[in-house]
């Protein structure tokens, strides 16, 4: 998709059940969970070339497993091609303070050398993009050509997923900064609360 941050979000959501985790003993099944208060905003510089213009998700709370409805639009003024560095900062609110979660088994506050490789892990090259990206002609692999794209209101199903043992109930915020050759291309912040049985 030409709006890369949305592509990453959708590809991860659509591919969660396909991820091959290397340490099953360090995971727990996330079922009968809810995501509450999902919020997002751009956090980049005014001249960042890639911008998410809109992202609407419902219902609130979002149930896992369960149905999710989403629509989005965004643009990039430059082609986004490999390698695309991705710096992720994940924080959890603990006793009124935001605590940075370190990078554990490539999850948490991590630096990824190439976000294009992450997409290839979730959706292998040569495989059709998952619906509804495929129906709307939205790509899910690098490179992403410059332009403006939108995803009309679409329905998704979120299955039970395995998550790291340390991903417990609470309030979280995550910031992702996409870059290339030392230059920031996009920045996106997401906030949510997680509650599971």
CATH number at residue 155: 2.70.220.10
Find the helix or strand (DSSP H, E) in which 38 lies.
strand 33-42
pLDDT tens per residue across span 11-42: 444 433 333 334 444 666 766 889 999 999 99
**Residue 182 placed within a domain:** yes
Residue 167 lies in domain: 4-16+29-196
- What does the pLDDT read at residue 6? 46
The answer to whether residue 23 sits within a structural domain is no
User: Total structural domains in the chain?
Assistant: 1
pLDDT band, residue 9 (cuts 50/70/90): very low
Q: How far apart are CA 100 and CA 44, in angstroms?
A: 20
Burial 11-43 (b: 16+ CB within 10 A, else e): bebbbbeeeeeeeeeebeebeebbbeebebebe
**Phi and psi at residue 173, in whole multiples of 5°?**
-140, 140
Pair 178, 100: CB distance under 8 Å: no
């Amino acid at each position: 998709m030409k709006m890369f941050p949305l592509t990453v979000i959708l590809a991860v959501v659509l591919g969660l059940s396909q991820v091959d985790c290397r340490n099953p003993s360090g995971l727990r099944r996330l079922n009968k969970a809810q995501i509450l208060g999902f919020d997002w905003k751009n956090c980049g510089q005014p001249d960042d070339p890639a911008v998410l213009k809109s992202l609407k998700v419902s219902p609130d709370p979002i149930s896992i497993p369960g149905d999710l409805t989403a629509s989005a639009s965004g643009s990039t003024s430059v082609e986004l091609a490999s390698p695309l560095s991705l710096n992720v900062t994940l924080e959890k609110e603990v006793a009124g303070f935001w605590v940075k979660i370190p990078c554990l088994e490539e999850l948490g506050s991590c630096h990824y050398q190439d976000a294009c490789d992450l997409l290839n892990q979730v959706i292998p090259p040569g495989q059709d993009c998952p619906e509804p990206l495929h129906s709307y002609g939205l790509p899910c692999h690098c490179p992403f050509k410059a332009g403006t794209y939108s995803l009309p209101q679409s329905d998704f199903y979120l299955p039970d997923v395995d998550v790291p043992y340390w991903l417990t109930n609470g309030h979280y915020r995550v910031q992702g900064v996409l870059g290339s050759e030392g230059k920031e291309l996009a920045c996106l912040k997401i906030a949510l609360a997680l509650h599971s049985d």
